[in-house]
Structure 1
Amino acid sequence: MPFIDIAFQAEISRFEDSEFEEVARRNCGEDPDTRKQAIEELRSMILERGICNPRRMDDAYLLRFLRCRRFIPALTHKLMVRYEDFRRKNSYLYDCNAFGLQSVKDVYGGTLPDSPDNGRITLMRFGRWNVEEVPIVDVVRCALLMDEIAAMQPRLQILGVTIIVDLEGLGMRHVRPLTRTVAGQIVALMGVSFPIHIHGVHVINYNWILSSFFSLFKQFIPAAAWARLHFHGNDMSSLHKHIDPVYLPQEYGGRCQHVISTEEWLRKINMYKDEFMVQELRALGFTVDDTKSDGWSDM
């Protein structure tokens, strides 16, 4: 079996590797001795306050939220409230074929090798979005699907995610479809309302249009998130201060030889999805074919 397939089989695994205990302690404030206590405290808080009604209340589900908020139950509860509110207000985003969003492949540049300091590095290229062929709702749906799949994986719950937003080629045609609703959805998906631990968001290769593009988003970014937002322009040495070049592609002055495209990532996830993932995605509202496919499902 090729190494890439072995890696993707591990990608959907929910096995908790003991080697990640120290990483979980550093990234998430997770202590095996007090983990159960924090879970019970969060569960009691949910029941007593009655503000949100999570679809699951088991330990593994609550754990994915606690890991995003350094095991502080009060902050975790606020995150769960925002997540449930997002799902309620945007249920139509889940109403699609989970593995039929191949048209957005150019928008999401793919994923880079996991870094100990930066976690999963994800590349977005909004300047390559073909606005005539790809509706904005599918751009958001693909990000939503990737978030929901990532949140299922203990490895990514612990490692976290770093996002590189490459705006090369961005024009007014890309800004026009961005409404306040869409901007709010995108910010929510970047960790504000989702159980995804975000190390940082790095914006590169932008021009004067950034002011129009970014003005739509900044109203939704909470004060605590600004410290994780970095603007580098075309200065790759500035980016290298945050991300070691060994984990970056050559076009960003890096030494990484292989970027896993979003198309490839989703195709392999579709191949190796198990019954748990199928049922989870369906419970969220996605349509998922039972068959394991090495290609894309039809829309």
Structure 2
Amino acid sequence: MKDHNSESSQLEAFRSTLSTNSRLNDLHLDDTLLIKFLRCRNYDVTQAMTALTAYVDIINKRSDLFSWTDEIKKVIEAGIFLHYPERTPDGCVVNLVTPGKWNPSDFSYTTYIKLAILWSEVLLLDEDVQKNGFIVVIDMSGIKLTHIYHTGVSNAKLFSDLTERILPRKLASIHFVNASRFQDAGLALFKPFMTASTKQVMHFHSKDCSTLHKFVPPNLLPASLGGYAKEVPASTYIHLLEKNKEKVFKIWDQLRN
């Protein structure tokens, strides 16, 4: 992990690179935002610059994804996407995703993407999360053909690009549980767009989840995955987003042109 002096020197180098970029040098980007991009790319200025440029591009091309609507609450209430307040011993935040709980007639996959972006940015307000990263656990149970159909190739690519190449977050590892031959077809929709680095941290686990517990402590997993985390009501997550969304919007405003 970088000390303060090293981080400051990398920030200076980042600003120097930004000053030569005609696309970005007119934006008023604060140090907090730039450091977040440096941390997510392990202080590699070139990679941080690539991610930042891609973020500016997507937020200006797809402004609809970077906004709040009450439809987002439906994703939370469905229990598709959640995390527990505690961290792993390594300081990672654990996201639990259960795509099979999605009813496409209730909201679109685009709404799910909007929540994933906003949720990531709210969690990234915590500097420890910026430094230590995310562990994503995907419970594949319940995935059906209708989920694959209503996701589609274009959304699969968009989601992969956002979560792996653009959002300023580290992916420590990603875990798939309860996968079957049919659920594998859902994963196959995303695989062509996954980065090599993501594929290197992918893990598949049997239904008893004993191997998953080597990566994620049971106190950070629900009973359905062999854990004993206390259930967090949807209202808690909604309150967390509504409390912090304006902070995120101010960050996004720096990136708009």
TM-score (norm 1): 0.76
Q: Deviations over 1:168-224 (max 9, x none)?
A: 111001110122221122213433211011111111112222332122211111112
Q: How does 1:98-137 map to 2 (within 5 A)?
A: 100-105=71-76, 106-112=78-84, 113-117=86-90, 119-137=92-110
* Alpha-carbon distance in 2 for matches of 1:275, 1:87: 16
Question: Is contact 1:111–1:261 with CA below 8 Å preserved after alignment?
Answer: no
Between the two proteins, what is the percent identity of the paired residues?
A: 23
Q: State yes or no: 1:260 paired with 2:232.
A: yes
1:74–1:135 CA distance, 2 compared to 1 (3 A): same
* Map of 1:178 onto structure 2: 151
TM-score (norm 2): 0.87
- What amino acid is the match of 1:268? L
How many residues are aligned here? Answer: 254
Q: Deviations over 1:10-64 (max 9, x none)?
A: xxxxxxxxxxxxxxx2xxxx22121111001011112224455684422111000
1:73–1:59 CA distance, 2 compared to 1 (3 A): same
1:202–1:104 CA distance, 2 compared to 1 (3 A): same
Q: Deviations over 1:51-94 (max 9, x none)?
A: 55684422111000011111121221122122223323322222
What's the secondary structure of 1:179's corresponding residue? helix
1:240–1:121 CA distance, 2 compared to 1 (3 A): same
Determine which of 187, 190, 196 is the counterpart of 1:223: 196
Question: Is contact 2:138–2:176 with CA below 8 Å preserved after alignment?
Answer: yes
Q: State yes or no: 1:63 paired with 2:40.
A: no
Unaligned stretches of 5+ in structure 1? Answer: 1-24, 286-299
* Map of 2:160 onto structure 1: 187
Please state which structure has a larger fraction of its residues in helix: 2
* Alpha-carbon distance in 1 for matches of 2:226, 2:130: 28
Determine which of 242, 250, 253 is the counterpart of 2:215: 242
What's the secondary structure of 1:237's corresponding residue? coil
Unaligned stretches of 5+ in structure 2? Answer: none
Q: State yes or no: 1:31 paired with 2:12.
A: no
What's the secondary structure of 1:177's corresponding residue? helix
* Map of 1:86 onto structure 2: 58
Determine which of 187, 191, 207 is the counterpart of 1:214: 187
- What amino acid is the match of 1:114? R
Q: Deviations over 1:141-192 (max 9, x none)?
A: 1112112222333232123211111111110011101222211222134332
* Alpha-carbon distance in 2 for matches of 1:282, 1:62: 14
